[in-house]
Amino acid sequence: MMDLERLLRSQGFGSRRETRALIWAGRVGVDGCVCEDPQARFDPEGLVFAVDGVEWICRKFAYLALNKPAGYECSRYPAHHPSVYSLLPSPLLARGVQAVGRLDQDATGLLLFSDDGSFIHRCTSPRKLVPKVYQVETRHPVDDRQVAALLNGVQLHDDPQPVSATACVRLRERCVQLTVTQGRYHLVKRMVAAAGNRVEALHRLSIGGLRLPESLSAGQWMWLDATEMALQALGA
Ligand code: URA
């Protein structure tokens, strides 16, 4: 059991003073009723509460999927474009959610966020080879030689070992679906360049077993549950 004031703090609704003020002002509801007692105790597991009429479910850890639009940087302190963090509501930022891996400013698609440090570490560890699937639009037609090069391994400037895609399916003349397991800086762009082509647009379709839901439009985010995230972390 946890008192309401502490519960709200754990979910990113401010300091002790701020959460008390919210509760005393009658702005917090639990299970459909206004609760004005900061010390009222509840079982936090799955508790539904509302702040200013917006419903939240109490979660030990936050796991989110965002459909990243083009023109946003994955940094908290972006240099030239707005931050992807500006697309998330403030309680989630206050909880300290972080992007799990990154997408380039001009790339779009599935981006995960969490405040579960061990999950973020598992997903981003270079030893954990989580497959990521990208739809890649290219400047030039993709020929058989380029597909073979991507599958057999291409040489990048900063690595003596060739890097290969685990799958490369031509979808259209200038579009391939590419699966890579590493998460290095500009990896797909550099691989496609090394194969003799150029990336014009990059869209991430999935990470591990987790696909970008078609219902999620660019700029929108959604909650993911812990089961989905466990599947994702296993690369299932
Ligand atoms: N590879 C890239 O080149 N850019 C991304 O954003 C992701 C993978």
Q: Which of 38, 49, 44 is nearest to 59 (CA)?
A: 44
- Tell me, using a 6 A CB cutoff, whether residue 207 lines ligand 1: no
Rounded CA separation 64/225 (Å):
8
Q: What is the Å distance from ligand 1's center to 10 Cα?
A: 34
Q: What is the Å distance from ligand 1's center to 202 Cα?
A: 7
Structure letter (DSSP) for residue 112? E
From 3, 43, 104, 106, active-site residue: 104
Rg of the chain over Cα atoms, rounded to whole angstroms, equals 21
Tell me, yes or no, if 104 is annotated catalytic. yes
Q: What is the Å distance from ligand 1's center to 6 Cα?
A: 40
- Tell me, using a 6 A CB cutoff, whether residue 107 lines ligand 1: yes
Structure letter (DSSP) for residue 218? T
Rounded CA separation 97/117 (Å):
9
Q: Which of 102, 128, 97 is nearest to 113 (CA)?
A: 97
Per-residue pLDDT of 133-164, as tens digits, reads 999 999 999 999 999 999 999 999 888 899 99
pTM over 0.85: yes
Q: Please report the atom of ligand 1 found closest to the CA of residue 107.
A: 6
Say if residues 200 and 80 touch (Cβ distance below 8 Å).
no
CA 211 from chain centre, in angstroms, equals 11
Per-residue pLDDT of 41-86, as tens digits, reads 999 999 999 999 999 999 999 999 999 999 999 999 999 999 999 9
Per-residue pLDDT of 172-190, as tens digits, reads 999 999 999 988 889 999 9
DSSP-derived 3-state class of residue 86: helix
Rounded CA separation 143/187 (Å):
20
Q: Which amino acid is at 15?
A: S
Rounded CA separation 2/111 (Å):
32
- Tell me, using a 6 A CB cutoff, whether residue 106 lines ligand 1: no
At a CB cut-off of 8 Å and minimum separation 6, what does 66 contact? 84, 87, 88, 110, 111, 112, 113, 219, 220, 221
